Amino acid sequence: MWMTINDWIYSVWMSVMQWDWLNDQLRSVLNTLYHTPMGEFMRTSTWGWPLFESLHFTGMSLLAGTIVMFDLRLLGFARAVPVHAMHRLIPVGIAGFLLNMSTGICFICATPDQYLFNAAFRWKVIFITIAGLNVLFFYTRVFRRLESFTLEHQTPPLGARFVGGVSLMSWVGVMTAGRLLTFFRP
Amino acid sequence: MDPFFLWLESWPLGIWLREAVTIWAFPFVLILHTVGLAFMVGVNVAIDVRALGGASGVPLISLRRYYKWMWAGFWVNAVSGVLLLIAYPTKALTNPLFYLKLALIGVGIKLAYVIRGHMLKGEAGAGVAVSPRLRALAATSLLLWVLTITAGRLLAYTCTRLTVDTSCG
C-alpha cells in the first residue's frame, strides 16, 4: 500500500514539475539558497553539519516532549493531568518546531538537490502538512471544548482522541521519513 | 581486541543488518532508535519543563505515569542500540564518545529518578512555586539530555574505524 501511495506522490510531483514556470521558480530559490553564506558554511565547516543535526534532534525532543505527550493525554493516557493546564507546555513544542524549521532550511541550503529529488523528503513534507492541518482542526473545533473534559478519569471526547491520534502518528511519520532521507538520496 | 571485533562482525545478524538492501534492515533500526529517543527524552522534557516552573497548573505528580513511556523509549533504544552495535561493533567500541554517551544516559536516568523522588513527595503541586533545588535538578537533566543527543549524533562523525578492515569516512 505504501508503495502505491509512493508511486502516486511521485507521479503527482513529476506532473507538477512539468509546469516550467514553477520549476524555474523552485530552481532559482534553491540556487539562491545554495549560494547563501549559510549554505557555504554548512558545506565547508567540519562541525557545522553535526552540530546542526544535534540541534535538529534536540528540537525533535522538545516537540515530542510537549506535543506528543499532550497527544497521549488527549488519547486518554495519564488522566490525572489537567488538559487545559498541560496545554501551556505547547509553546516549548513550537520552539522545538521553529528550531527544526531553521536547522532544516540550513540543511536544504547546503545540498538542495539531496532533498528536492528525494522520496523521503516528500513524505516528510506531507506528514508535516497533515500535522499542521490537524493543529488547525484542533484550534478551530476542539480547543474551546477542552474546559469541559478536564475532569479526572473522564474519557476524552472523540474529537480530542482523533486529534491526539492523528498528531501522534504524523509526528512519528515525520521522524520516520526524516531518518530515511539519507537512504533515498538521489 | 581485533580478533574479538572480527568475531562479532562475522555474526549473520550483523552481516544482514550491514548488507541487506532493504529499509527493514539498518534503516528500520535507525528509525526505531530515533522514535525511542523522542519518547525517552520527550518524557524528561515534559517533566523538566514543569519542574522549572512551566505549565504551573499541572501538578508535577500528575505526570508520574509518563515514566512508563520513558521506559518504553528506553527499551526500544536498548534493543535497537544493541542491533546497531552488532551491525558495527568496531565503529562504536573503538570510540571513547560511545562510552561517554552510555554514561550520560545512566546519569540522565538516575536524575529522572531523583526528580521523581521530589515529585512523589508532592513538590510542585498546582500553582505552587518550585524549590530552587528541584529547578536546578531539572535544568541539569535537560542539559544532560542535550549532551547525550549531541554525543550520539557525533558518533557518526568521530569514529576512526567502521569495521576492523575499513576506516570511517
Its domain, for residue A136, covers 19-184
Is A61 in contact with B38 (Cβ distance < 8 A)?
yes
d(CA A47, CA A41): 10
- Give domain status of residue B145, yes or no: yes
Confidence at B141, pLDDT banded by 50, 70, 90: very high
- Give domain status of residue A54, yes or no: yes
- Residue closest to B49 by CA, chosen among A166, A75, A67, A77: A67
For A64, nearest residue in chain B (alpha carbons) = B42
Confidence at B121, pLDDT banded by 50, 70, 90: very high
pLDDT digits (tens, 9 = 90+) for A66-84: 999 999 999 999 999 999 8
Provide the number of structural domains found in chain B.
1
pLDDT digits (tens, 9 = 90+) for A41-72: 999 999 999 999 999 999 999 999 999 999 99
What is the percent of chain B where pLDDT is above 70? Answer: 100
| Whether B8 contacts B86, CB under 8 Å | yes
**Position of cell 521506559?**
B71
Q: Supply the pLDDT for residue B103.
A: 98
| Whether A105 contacts A65, CB under 8 Å | no
- Give domain status of residue B163, yes or no: no
Could you give the C-alpha distances from A41 to A25, A47, A177, in angstroms and in order? 24, 10, 25
- For residue B65, what are the contacts with CB-CB under 8 A and spacing of at least 6? A77, A78, A80
> What is the mean pLDDT of the segment spanning B5-21?
96
- Give domain status of residue B165, yes or no: no
- Give domain status of residue A8, yes or no: no
- Give domain status of residue A170, yes or no: yes
pLDDT digits (tens, 9 = 90+) for A109-166: 999 988 988 999 999 999 999 999 999 999 998 888 777 666 666 788 889 999 999 9
- Give domain status of residue A49, yes or no: yes
Q: Is B114 on the interface with A (CB under 8 A)?
A: no
- Give domain status of residue A1, yes or no: no
Is B42 in contact with A175 (Cβ distance < 8 A)?
no
- Give domain status of residue A141, yes or no: yes
Its domain, for residue B42, covers 2-158
- Give domain status of residue A5, yes or no: no
d(CA B147, CA B60): 25
* Residue of B49, B143, B168 for testing the chain A interface, max A β-carbons within 10 Å: B49
In eight-state DSSP terms, residue A79 is: T
How distant is the Cα of B4 from the closest Cα of chain A, in angstroms?
Answer: 30
CA atoms lying within 13 Å on the CB side of residue A120: 19
- Give domain status of residue B132, yes or no: yes
Chain B partners within 8 Å of A174 (Cβ):
none
Three-state DSSP state, B106: helix
Cell representation of residue A65: 516532549
Is A86 in contact with B58 (Cβ distance < 8 A)?
yes
Q: Buried (b) or exposed (e) across B58-92, using 16+ Cβ within 10 A?
A: bbbbbbbbbbebbeebbebbeebbebbebbbbbbb
**Contacts A–B by Cβ distance under 8 A:** 117
A177 pLDDT above the threshold of 90: yes
For A60, nearest residue in chain B (alpha carbons) = B38
d(CA B140, CA B111): 8
- Give domain status of residue A9, yes or no: no
Q: Supply the pLDDT for residue A61.
A: 98
Chain A partners within 8 Å of B42 (Cβ):
61, 64-66, 68-69
pLDDT digits (tens, 9 = 90+) for A9-29: 888 888 888 888 888 888 898
For B54, nearest residue in chain A (alpha carbons) = A89
Q: Supply the pLDDT for residue A2.
A: 82
H helices present in B2-131, as ranges: 2-9, 12-19, 26-51, 67-87, 89-93, 96-120
Mean pLDDT of chain B: 96
Q: Supply the pLDDT for residue A26.
A: 87
Query: Which one of B38, B57, B69 has the shortest CB-CB distance to A60?
Result: B38
Q: Is B169 on the interface with A (CB under 8 A)?
A: no
Taking each helix axis as running N to C, give the angle between helix B26-51 and helix B67-87, from 0 to 180 degrees, rounded to the nearest 10.
Answer: 150
Q: Supply the pLDDT for residue B56.
A: 94
Interface pTM, i.e. ipTM: 0.95
Q: Supply the pLDDT for residue B61.
A: 96
pTM: 0.94
- Give domain status of residue B81, yes or no: yes
Which residues of A make CB contacts under 8 Å with B?
Answer: 47, 50-51, 53-54, 57-58, 60-62, 64-66, 68-69, 72, 77-78, 80-82, 84-89, 92, 171-172, 175-176, 178-180, 183
Confidence at B75, pLDDT banded by 50, 70, 90: very high
- Give domain status of residue B127, yes or no: yes
Provide the number of structural domains found in chain A.
1
Q: Supply the pLDDT for residue A153.
A: 63
pLDDT digits (tens, 9 = 90+) for B22-68: 999 999 999 999 999 999 999 999 999 999 999 999 999 999 999 99
